[in-house]
Amino acid sequence: MNHPRPGERGPVLRAVDVEVVRDGRHLLREIGLKVHPGQHWALLGANGAGKSTLLSLLGAHQHPTRGSVEVLGHRLGAVDMRALRSFVGHVNPRHPLRSPLTARQVVLTGATNTTELVPRWVPSDAESARAERLIGVLGIAERAEAAWNTLSQGERGRALIARALMPEPRLLLLDEPATGLDLAAREQLLTSLDELRAEHPGLATVLVTHHLEELPTGTTHAMLLRDGRCLAAGEVDEVITGEHISTCFDHPVHITRDHGRWYARAATRVEA
């Protein structure tokens, strides 16, 4: 079993003819995807389309039933999955924290790739400095000493992004990061994501959502999933169209883009 090393060249993600079958049911069929450094992908689709299943493959949390998945140049099935995950930043808004940690402590757990603080572990000066820098970049410096359960959902989301960036990953996976956020918190989160992408030009990201309004302006590529199949994939302006989105969500939709952001509204039959 190979042990992964960071800094590999080539695509950060590659999926070829991927299928996932559970209890006789196809969750994904014939999925192909290639993500290069600096690309920012959106996975879009209705509930049950297969987005979370695909993200779990890309994050090295499960194997495909058929086909191949390579993460950071390492093929799943021929690599230590746990070690590989330590090089992937994964943001899950449903972070299963049980201890009364502060926001700063939660960010520091990204250095050990654990949910809780490791007993007797002490961060290095470099790790502490990186945590402080990320806390500042994500705009939560004033809340760094606040207990996790007192943070707003938006503050938690930004803290989790800082946590995911602690090991300096080449790949950042975001699983519906705007879930439960109000308008102001969502906009703060999306602004933070765009600033991060500008500051780290080699970072690749994959963001899962079913709301076009939750896509950052820096989104470069998109994949639309419907019933476990890829409906369209490629450069974002070619994929996020009224025709494709209407088919993806089985409802006539009119798409507009303003200042780099996408908006959707129900289309009349004439518009469709």
Is residue 46, in this structure, part of any structural domain at all?
A: no
Is residue 53, in this structure, part of any structural domain at all?
A: no
Burial class of residue 95 in the structure, from the number of CB atoms within 10 Å of its CB (0-12 exposed, 13-18 middle, 19+ buried): middle
Q: In a 3-state reduction of DSSP, which class is residue 206?
A: strand
Residue 124: φ, ψ to 5°: -70, 170
List the end-to-end C-alpha distance of the chain, in Å, as a whole number: 52
What are the residue ranges in the chain where pLDDT is below 70?
A: 1-9, 268-272
Interatomic CA distance for residues 81 and 61, integer angstroms: 7
pLDDT for position 29 = 94
pLDDT for position 99 = 86
Is residue 117, in this structure, part of any structural domain at all?
A: yes
Interatomic CA distance for residues 110 and 107, integer angstroms: 6
Amino acid (one-letter) located at 104: R
Q: What's the number of domains the chain is made of?
A: 1
pLDDT for position 7 = 47
Is residue 240 within 8 A of residue 262, CB to CB? The reply is yes
pLDDT for position 199 = 82
Is residue 146, in this structure, part of any structural domain at all?
A: yes
**What is the span of the domain harbouring residue 130?**
97-168
Helices (DSSP H) in the chain: which residue ranges?
51-58, 81-85, 103-108, 125-137, 153-165, 183-199, 236-239, 242-249
User: What does the longest C-alpha to C-alpha distance in the chain come to?
Assistant: 66
Q: Is 2 left (phi over 0), alpha (psi -120 to 50) or beta?
A: beta
pLDDT for position 9 = 66
Tell me the chain's radius of gyration from C-alpha atoms.
19
Is residue 150, in this structure, part of any structural domain at all?
A: yes
Is residue 264, in this structure, part of any structural domain at all?
A: no
pLDDT for position 272 = 45
Interatomic CA distance for residues 193 and 164, integer angstroms: 12
180-235 pLDDT per residue, tens: 788 888 888 888 888 888 888 899 999 999 889 999 999 999 999 999 999 999 99
Is residue 179, in this structure, part of any structural domain at all?
A: no
Is residue 142, in this structure, part of any structural domain at all?
A: yes
